[in-house]
Amino acid sequence: MFKVLKTEGRARRGEFSCAHGGVVQTPVFMNVGTQGAIKGGVSAHDLKEVGCQIELSNTYHLHLRPGDHIVRQMGGLHKFMDWDGPILTDSGGFQVFSLASLRKIREEGVTFASHIDGHRIFMGPEESMQIQSNLGSDIAMAFDECVENPATYEYAKASCERTARWLERCKAEHDRLNALPDTVNPGQMLFGINQGATFADLRVWHMDQIAKIDCDGYAIGGLAVGEPAEVMYEIIDAVEPHMPKDKPRYLMGVGTPSNIIEGVARGVDFFDCVMPSRNGRHGKLFTWEGTVNIMNEKYITDERPISGSCQCPVCRRFSRSYLRHLFKADEVLALRLAVLHNLWFYNELMAKIRQALDEGNFAEFREKYSGKLEQRA
């Protein structure tokens, strides 16, 4: 269930609801817990404290370890990780094409080698839907091919035509699984994924095709894979007018705070990215004053919090000096504190974007922060 409450230009302020959790306020950033936990020692309980609305987990990784049948046996992913809010699972497509070696793509699906032990695995649209049904997520993503960048026009065209056919198979299998009496989450939704590399005409054609299949939402995939930000924005500009107005739009794997602000300005509702957790684990911290590299020697006796304007659990309790010490001493706590701070910042970023939309001053917010948040503090 998705409802647009108001708009400012192409930016949309909305509400989304699904089988778990209350009403999600959009635009929203989904916090990435690849294997059922945020890398850096952050649990589902911590996500509540830092303002997370939707958690995202990875179909490919959970299929390999512990196994989706194990998660099903344990009552589904919500019960397994003790998270009562919405969960989105990606289809596994991106990981199959980026992590797996010796992959072979056919119309039926993809055969690939596990990155853990090398054993051969087959995954197609039906298998992806079955895995995600076992996990019991609230939003399942359609199985797609994420084309490498750069790609030839001919390959990208054949690939997105196949991805459109795969979506039809995903939809049929998803409907079948949801109707089973013992399914983990009979209210699970399905989002289709737009592909087409960086070719605007392929993107538009593909969006028009998949919009004919009645999905609960639609994503733009295959971006933020090495192309310049301006190219990404051009693709969003081309695709967005062809996306259903009454369904949520999701920009996959994006991105920096500036990318998110620019995505919202172009009509996107959902975002996800590993950046806040990955950067945090390397001492790169986000603040409203710009980015902070906590490894810098100038913080060695700095008694201030990471950001004086931040109310996260870390900034309320610890100094820059202490956090720098933890990193230099290779303490695991350093990763946890840095990731918690960055997740808080990203979730607060979305709250401030929503507030700006509510108050009708998103254009001013965008002008003030889109460039500033990319700079060093």
Question: 267 Cβ partners below 8 Å, 6+ apart?
Answer: 10, 11, 12, 236, 240, 243, 249
Catalytic residue among 46, 138, 144, 272: 272
Neighbours of 225 (CB within 10 A): 19
Local structure of residue 143 (DSSP, 8 states): P
Question: 298 Cβ partners below 8 Å, 6+ apart?
Answer: none
Going by C-alpha positions, the residue among 61, 33, 80, 181 that lies closest to residue 131 is 61
Catalytic residue among 68, 90, 144, 269: 90
Rounded to 5°, the CA angle 357-358-359 comes to 90
CA distances from 97 to 58, 164, 227 (A): 14, 17, 17
How far is residue 312's CA from residue 318's CA, in Å, rounded to a whole number? 10
Q: In the annotation, is 358 catalytic?
A: no
Q: In the annotation, is 90 catalytic?
A: yes
How far is residue 335's CA from residue 341's CA, in Å, rounded to a whole number? 10
User: What is the H or E stretch that residue 277 is in?
Assistant: helix 275-281
Going by C-alpha positions, the residue among 334, 302, 295 that lies closest to residue 320 is 302
Catalytic residues: 90, 272
